[in-house]
Chain A
Amino acid sequence: MEFMGYVRPDGKAGARNLTAVIPSVTCANDVAQAICRQVQGTVAYLHHQGCCQLPPDLERVTDTLISIGKSPNVANVLVVSLGCEGTDYERMVKEISETGKRVEIIRIQALGGVSKSIQAGTDLARRLVIEASGLQRTSCGISQVIMSIKCGASDTTSGIASNCVIGYVADRLVDLGATVVFGETTEFIGGEHLLARRAVTTEVGNQILKIVEQMETRAKSLGCDMRKGQPTPGNIEGGLSSIEEKSLGAIMKSGSRPIQGVLDYPQAITTEKGLWIKDTPGREPEILTGMACTGAQVMMFSTGRGAPQGFPSMPVIKICGNPNTYARMEEDMDINAGLILTGDKTIEQVGEESIQKMLKVLSGEMTKNEAIQYFSAIDIHTLGPVI
């Protein structure tokens, strides 16, 4: 099984060939956005972090932005810095450059302000996209694939239809020597014992239990019932009565293969194969960023109530398990898993269809959210306060 990808200088295979315009701090967002409006082939990451945070969070934001730049879907990078931020923009340039990619930086304060920076950044971005656009796709093996998985705007169809489809795809990919990453630690609560049992070692199993305990402690920190936060009002309207029920449905998408280990939020995959967990919250803007950090070229995203969003440099394939939602929101959904509950298709049939779709998307076919650029609401998950 193969796909047509872009081979990067570090040997990784990309499904997209984008110039990443990365604000090193939220205060540089408008300049990054203005450059991207002007130059085709660029994407901006309009996050809200990078200053007036405690040192571990500043390091986490720096590491996250580095991992995004290192992703094989990114051809080259323009870092947009303000100049006085708390993140380490010099380390961003240095570490992304280690992949062999070209990395440029503009500094808004040093260049004399916003309009001069937009001009300088536009000229640099133009050179970067022209350089990237000359690359050709070549045949790449399926073992090069890192697939991330996620469910959002879930209802009870997710755990019975669309998450089972993703579980089927995850098992197939692991068996073919590829890498699969799932997360949403909050949505392990109530099902963590089942995941811990699938860990390759006792240590990994204990680590799974530990990240769930940490997430639950955070959820309880305000002294209230977490319901409405998790499950969300939409989940509850969709029939999910408790976090336990939501979690047991959510973990269906991890399939059945052994869990190799737990990755930190900003961590990139280097040579790891098989099924991995990334410690993330469930909310889309933060988890999609965390998953893009792994270097995932593609995401499979299951939904019941209809979550339309994607990510700037990681195509997101939407699989809808609710036949009523699919009928209403077909324009935002890539795969109809609602046919499982109507009795028209099996999980295996929709699973095979999803694998074929994934190979096409990896080779360049756009997903529905990608085609309309519905992917600007991104963020980075931090742990401490803004101070």
Chain B
Amino acid sequence: MELKLALKVNDLDNVATLFANAVRDGDEVEIRDKKGGRDHVKVRGDVPYGHKIATRDIHVGEDIVKYGEEIGIATHEIARGDYVHVHNLDSKRGRGDWKEGR
């Protein structure tokens, strides 16, 4: 079977981006980092090409990190291997709907 690859672009990241087509719930993928490190994880949920999975458990309110920088906060408990996108990640910027001081 074709190897399904996900890239973790920075050591600080808690998500990896999956560059493989037709990844289904329960598929095993290989997470690679820039140093050539390899980690295998079972994906939870169907994940489209270019979307993200968690490389470790992330708690509600915790920062989600990619490129070594925060890209939002977790709105749900996220387990390693979970599909991470707008359903469980909230942006902190451009939030005209948030009251000042929040």
Number of interface residues of A (CB under 8 A): 35
In B72-88, which residues have CB < 8 Å from any A CB? 72, 84-86
Known: A160-B7, A221-B96. A248 touches B69 (CB 8 A): yes
Which B residues lie within 8 Å of A159 (CB)?
A: 67
Kindly state whether residue B93 has any CB partner on chain A within 8 Å: yes
A243 at the interface (CB under 8 A from B): yes
Partner of A190, one of B7, B71, B85, B97: B71
Query: Is B51 interfacial (CB-CB < 8 Å)?
Result: yes
> Which one, A190, A220, A238, A243, contacts B50 given CB within 8 A?
A238
Q: Tell whether, in the assembled complex, residue A322 and residue B50 are in contact, meaning their CB atoms are under 8 Å apart.
A: yes
Do residues A216 and B93 form an inter-chain contact, with CB atoms below 8 A?
yes
Whether A243 contacts B69 by the Cβ 8 Å rule is no
Cα separation A249 to B96 with both chains bound (whole Å) = 23
Q: How far is the CB of B24 from chain A (nearest CB, A)?
A: 17
Query: DSSP class of B's interface residues: helix, strand, loop or mixed?
Result: loop
A245 interfacial by beta-carbon distance below 8 Å: yes
CB-CB under 8 A for A191 and B94, given A227-B86, A238-B50, A324-B49: no
Chain B residues whose CB sits within 8 angstroms of the CB of A222 once the complex forms: 96
A residues 137-192 near B (Cβ < 8 Å) are 155-157, 159-160, 189-191
Contacts of A191 in B (CB 8 A): 69
- CB pair A244–B71 under 8 Å, yes or no, is yes
| Interface flags, B3-30, vs A, CB<8A=1, else 0 | 0000101000000010101000000000
Question: How far does the Cβ of A50 sit from chain B's closest Cβ, in whole Å?
Answer: 30
Is A269 in the interface zone, CB < 8 Å from B? no
Taking a contact as CB atoms under 8 Å apart, the answer to whether B85 and A241 are in contact is yes
On chain B, the residues within 8 Å of A223 by CB distance are 96-97
Judged by a CB distance under 8 angstroms, whether A1 is at the interface is no
Q: Does A224 contact B (CB under 8 A)?
A: yes
| Residue B92 lies at the interface, judged by CB distance under 8 Å to chain A | yes
Asked if residues A242 and B72 are in contact (CB atoms below 8 Å), the reply is yes
Within A180-219, the residues touching B (CB, 8 Å) are 189-191, 194, 216, 219
Q: In whole angstroms, how far apart are the Cα atoms of A341 and B66 in the complex?
A: 18
| Least Cβ–Cβ distance between B87 and chain A, in angstroms | 9
How far in angstroms is the closest Cβ of chain A from B79?
17
Inter-chain contact A219/B48, CB cutoff 8 Å:
no
Given the known A-B contacts A160-B9, A227-B86, A236-B86, are A242 and B71 also in contact in the complex, defined by CB atoms under 8 Å? yes
30 A-B pairs within 8 Å (CB atoms) are namely A157-B50, A160-B19, A191-B69, A194-B69, A216-B93, A219-B96, A220-B95, A221-B96, A224-B97, A225-B94, A226-B95, A227-B86, A236-B86, A238-B50, A239-B49, A239-B51, A239-B52, A241-B72, A241-B86, A242-B71, A242-B86, A242-B89, A242-B91, A243-B91, A243-B93, A243-B94, A244-B71, A244-B91, A244-B92, A322-B50
